[in-house]
Amino acid sequence: MLRIRLTAADFASVRFAPRPAPLQELNTAFLTLFRPDGAVLLARWRRRVLGALPPTAGALGEVVRRVRAPAFLDVFADSLPEALDEVRSARPELVRAELERVHAGRPAPPAWVRDLHRGDADAWRPLLRAQRSEG
């Protein structure tokens, strides 16, 4: 058992975001979905979510699968459109470095990820479509 002891001063210093950050929540959900430890407690939830995801959402799973989402996807914008604009304006060198980190030690990524790594503007479409996917 893990026991964490907090003082009144600890609680007093806790801060909460004023509103949700849509892409942060989406990234966290995908990271949990693809946790490498395969947490048994999440098995039923994982099956339900995987069965309900629209096909276009799969592209996000190609880049959000490690301990931390790629930094260019980790944005704290207030709205989804604003967040997607921020993702799309990521510096190419950051995108390349983060895709290399995420795919290190894994089989070759799909063609669209390789194109995104090379800076192809059309390669953003699958990722941005996946982030907007609705069931």
Residue 3 lies in a domain: no
- 81 close to 90: Cβ distance less than 8 angstroms: no
SS3 state at 97: helix
Residue 50 three-state SS: helix
- Is position 67 within any domain? yes
Helices 22-33, 80-88: crossing angle, 10 deg rounding: 80
Residue 72 belongs to a domain: yes
Q: Range of 54's domain?
A: 19-132
59 falls within a domain: yes
Is 41 within the bounds of a domain?
yes
Query: What are the tokens at 79?
Result: 């709205």
Q: How do the pLDDT tens digits run along the chain, 135 residues long? A: 678 888 999 889 888 878 788 888 888 888 888 776 666 778 888 888 888 889 888 898 888 876 778 999 988 888 888 999 999 999 999 999 999 998 888 888 899 999 999 999 999 999 999 988 864
State the DSSP string of 66-78: SSS--GGG----S
Q: How many domains does the chain have?
A: 1
Q: And the tokens for 46?
A: 């994982």
Residue 54 domain-assigned (yes or no): yes
Per the document, the length of the chain is 135
In a domain, 12, yes or no: no
Answer yes or no: is 10 within a domain: no
- The whole-model pTM stands at 0.76
Instruction: Kindly state the tokens that stand for 98.
Output: 């983060």
Residue 31 near residue 67 (C-beta atoms within 8 A): yes
Burial class (CB in 10 A: 0-12, 13-18, 19+), 114: middle
